[in-house]
Amino acid sequence: MTRVLVTGGGGFIGLPVLERLVGEGREVDALTTRSDPPELLGVRWHQLDLADDAALEQLIATLAPQRLVHLAWCTDHGHFWHAPENVLWVQRSLRLLHAFVRSGGRRAVMLGTCAEYDWSSLGGALSEATSELAPATLYGAAKDALRRVADAYARQEGVEFAWARLFFLYGPREDPRRLVPSVIRALLAEQPIATGSGEQLRDFMHVDDAAGAVVALLDSSVVGAVNIASGAGVTVGELLDRLLQLLGGPELVHRGALPERPGEPRLLLADVARLRDEVGFHPRWTLADGLAATAKWWEAQQAPVSPVR
């Protein structure tokens, strides 16, 4: 049985990735810094900080996983774009890959971001093969640097390396400060919502589909960068309208009350030809069904909220 090592397994995308792997009968080990990781039958948790080089190398040498899914990174909402820790995460990720290769690992999948692309000159869907890479943030630059070095190292060592380039996700357990959960929670609490123009077109994918795409990429022989996205665009305003149809409260929304963010592109849409044709993955969630299920999940949490600004 193939042994898979997963980092960041307790996170927003990590938990559904683990559920997929366990559901397919994999032997799964997951690294975490938490003393109380989520209970998930079939997952062996190992409490370890990726900054601890000696402990990391010893554990990977002991486990000798054949496959690696690296999801861990600094993700604190708003802060991660320019966080100095991004530099440290490049180092930690390369040490992780090095230890994995030394222990006999054969295939690795790591997470990238659409922020690696050049957002200043967009004329259509972003393609792994033809779109320019020019990250405007430290986060995007760090991810791009990791991809370049890891890919070159994997090629040199004869190891398969794939780069799952994520776009915009939503779903249960998302950081409540992000767009979809912040709107849902405000509507549930009947609190006012200030928005911008809502004209930005984005590519949203349910987190369960994103997890399925990552596992499908792991199971494939595809190497290099692959966009992980739905391939279907929706404006932020249309997304808001869909949530209002589900939850009501149009009088709570103050459209255009917020200024546009400097440098924010109007269009961020993925070309998903590689994901569809080479990896063979097709999303299961429609946007309507995904938003409805997400709203129901947040409603069940009944968590207190603060006003959305």
Q: Which of 217, 214, 275 is nearest to 17 (CA)?
A: 214
Domain containing residue 98:
3-168+205-228
Q: Does 181 lie in the same domain as 113?
A: no
Q: Does 133 lie in the same domain as 78?
A: yes
Model pLDDT, residue 115: 97
pLDDT in tens, 20-48: 999 999 999 999 998 888 889 899 999 99
Q: What is 13-62 written as a DSSP string?
A: THHHHHHHHHHTT-EEEEEES-SSPPP-TTEEEEE--TT-HHHHHHHHHH
Q: Does 97 lie in the same domain as 223?
A: yes
Mean pLDDT of all residues in 14-24: 96
pLDDT in tens, 238-279: 999 999 999 999 999 999 998 888 878 889 999 999 999 999
Q: Does 8 lie in the same domain as 84?
A: yes
- Write the CATH number for 197: 3.90.25.10
pLDDT at 307 over 70: no
- Write the CATH number for 74: 3.40.50.720
Model pLDDT, residue 124: 86
Residues linked to residue 45 through DSSP beta bridges, in sequence order: 30
Model pLDDT, residue 309: 45
Q: How far apart are the first and last CA of the chain?
A: 50
Provide the phi-psi class of 114: left if phi over 0, else alpha when psi is between -120 and 50, else beta: alpha
Instruction: Give the span between the Cα atoms of 264 and 170, in whole angstroms.
Output: 19
If one compares 187 and 120, the residue with the highest pLDDT of the two is 187
Q: Does 17 lie in the same domain as 144?
A: yes
- pTM attached to this predicted model: 0.95
Q: Does 112 lie in the same domain as 194?
A: no
Mean pLDDT of all residues in 166-187: 97
Look up residue 212 and give its amino acid. Answer: G
Q: Does 12 lie in the same domain as 57?
A: yes
Q: What is 94-109 written as a DSSP string?
A: HHHHHHHHHTT--EEE
Q: Does 246 lie in the same domain as 150?
A: no
pLDDT in tens, 201-244: 999 999 999 999 999 999 999 999 999 999 999 999 999 999 99
Model pLDDT, residue 130: 95
Model pLDDT, residue 304: 54
Instruction: Give the span between the Cα atoms of 91 and 97, in whole angstroms.
Output: 10
Model pLDDT, residue 207: 98
Query: In the structure, what pLDDT confidence band is assigned to residue 69 with cuts at 50, 70 and 90?
Result: very high
pLDDT in tens, 106-153: 999 999 999 999 998 777 899 999 999 999 999 999 999 999 999 999
